Structure 1
Amino acid sequence: MTLTQAIDNIYASINNDNEELDSHIAALKATMTREGVKEAIFDPARLVQPNRQGRKIMQSYFRKKGVKVGFSA
């Protein structure tokens, strides 16, 4: 699995009421470790709640799972 595929799986999970989100986060974390990436970059326009509050909630949840999240401009 590539980093792009892992991030796309996260988007799909978020759009399906967070279905299997934790397993997708674990796969993203493993992919990031394998590829030596420190931060996963997401496009806020593709999120269900793209405002500041939604981004902060996402960052907090992912941080608890050990994944640093950033957002593209």
Structure 2
Amino acid sequence: MSEPSVEEATNRIYESLQADNADIDVHIAALKAAMKQAGLKEAVFDPARLAHNNRSGRKLMQAYFRQRGVTVTFSA
């Protein structure tokens, strides 16, 4: 099985967030690997696609991902 692209991994994370964080750690690991392959330092997420698009939800997501080695930013 080939590594997913950053876009595919990001879409899987959106799906996982909508499904009450099902398999989120697996998807974060796949995103981290895809980012390393692409040479990216941070993942960019669209806040409109998040399950909890408020300040506390975004900060919680950033903290959770940071613990797993992924820096998260949000698009405008």
* TM-score with structure 2 setting the length: 0.94
Matched, 1:29 2:32: yes
Which of 37, 40, 43 is the aligned partner of 1:40?
43
In the alignment, the residues of structure 1 paired with residue 31 and residue 6 of structure 2 have an alpha-carbon distance, to the nearest angstrom, of 7
* TM-score with structure 1 setting the length: 0.98
In the alignment, the residues of structure 2 paired with residue 49 and residue 66 of structure 1 have an alpha-carbon distance, to the nearest angstrom, of 21
User: Which residue in 1 is equivalent to 2:54?
Assistant: 51
String of CA shifts for 1:7-35, please: whole Å, max 9, x gaps. Answer: 00000000001000000000000000011
What's the CA shift for 1:66? 0.2
Kindly report the root-mean-square deviation, in angstroms, between the aligned alpha carbons of the 2 structures: 0.4
What's the CA shift for 1:62? 0.1
Matched, 1:65 2:71: no
Unaligned 5+ residue runs, structure 2?
Answer: none
Aligned residue pairs total 73
